[in-house]
Amino acid sequence: MTTTAPTLRPHGGYRSLRSFRVTEIIYDATVSFCSRFIDKRSRTNDKMVQAARSGRQNIAEGSRASAASSQTELRLVNVARASLDELLLDYEDFLRQRKLQLWGKDDPQAKAVRQIGQIDRTDRSDRTDQSDAKAYETWLSHPDPAIVANTLICLIHQANYLLDRQIAGLEQQFIQEGGYSERLHAARLHERQKQQNRTDQSDRTDQSEKKLCPTCGKEMQLRTAQKGPNSGSRFWGCMGYPDCRTTRPLQTDPVINS
């Protein structure tokens, strides 16, 4: 029976994650938004930029840590999700405190922003970070802060949706496959099984090459020396023992009569 080796999880491929690409757009756009519309001396400026950065960085760090610890990856992705929730509240506060409109779910502009995210799901191989950001440029570079803030709110909702799916997938994978130590243990057991299979195959080959005892004509059997200077070594011994004490080395043909 052929066994398939468990694969230790690949890691570090965060740049291909849609969640990372969206949060990178959010981070860059938040830096621009705060520079344009928030007082640079305000704590809100620093907090918003830090929350946006945390959302992106923790996805990347979780991906890099995935090979060593599934639990660490899951924890960091949850931190990214919490950071985006914090940033979402900041943008909603910005609109509410200035009595600016918050787009509803069915607002035409909200639908237009969501539509870009749906197109992004095609995940074309020629897609780049720059092309992702450029798709939202009309809204993110708009002179009206309300349009920029609402666009970023839409993007944060998209990122949160992606992270919720990512977290659910990581949790399910952990339940099914365990963490790094469990996968490493499974890989070790698999390697032991392969070695045992090779030994068994070698034994079967050796068994098929048995010869009759040249002394008494009885069949010879594989045995292991239990004591003496050759303890642990294997040899052929006559099944007529103790009446016949003929032995022969495992790999050579000369007969040894004791």
CA angle 91, 93, 96 (to 5 degrees): 115
- Pairing state between β 256-257 and 246-249: antiparallel
In the sheet with 220-224, reading across from the earlier edge strand, the strands are 220-224, 234-238, 246-249, 256-257
Strand runs (DSSP E) across 169-209, as ranges?
none
pLDDT higher than threshold 80 for residue 197: no
Highest mean predicted confidence (pLDDT) among 23-27, 163-167, 191-195: 23-27
**What span, in angstroms and rounded, lies between the C-alpha atoms of 25 and 28?**
5
**What span, in angstroms and rounded, lies between the C-alpha atoms of 108 and 25?**
21
- Token readout for 208 is 């098929």
**What span, in angstroms and rounded, lies between the C-alpha atoms of 84 and 51?**
6
- Residue identified by tokens 């890691």 is 11
**What would the mean pLDDT of 48-77 be, rounded to a whole number?**
88
pLDDT in tens, 84-99: 999 999 999 999 999 9
Instruction: Decide: 157 and 107 in contact? Cβ < 8 Å.
Output: no
Compute and round to an integer the Cα radius of gyration of the chain.
33
Instruction: Decide: 48 and 34 in contact? Cβ < 8 Å.
Output: yes
Q: Among 145, 63, 41, which Cα is nearest to 98's?
A: 145
pLDDT in tens, 136-158: 999 999 999 999 999 999 999 99
Alpha-carbon torsion, ordered 237, 241, 244, 250, to 10 deg? 0
More confident residue, 251 or 217: 217
**pLDDT given at position 6:** 40
pTM of the model: 0.64
**What would the mean pLDDT of 206-211 be, rounded to a whole number?**
58
Domain extents in the chain: 14-186, 210-258
**What span, in angstroms and rounded, lies between the C-alpha atoms of 150 and 29?**
12
pLDDT higher than threshold 70 for residue 131: no
42: how many CB neighbours lie within 10 A of its CB?
A: 11
- Which helix (H) or strand (E) element contains residue 249? strand 246-249
Instruction: Decide: 136 and 130 in contact? Cβ < 8 Å.
Output: no
Reduced to 3 states (helix: H, G, I; strand: E, B; else coil), residue 212 is strand
Give φ, ψ of 174 to 5 degrees: -65, -40
More confident residue, 205 or 25: 25
pLDDT in tens, 218-256: 888 888 888 877 777 888 888 888 888 888 887 644 444
**pLDDT given at position 177:** 66
Confidence of residue 109 (pLDDT cuts 50, 70, 90): very high
- Token readout for 182 is 């469990």
**pLDDT given at position 156:** 97
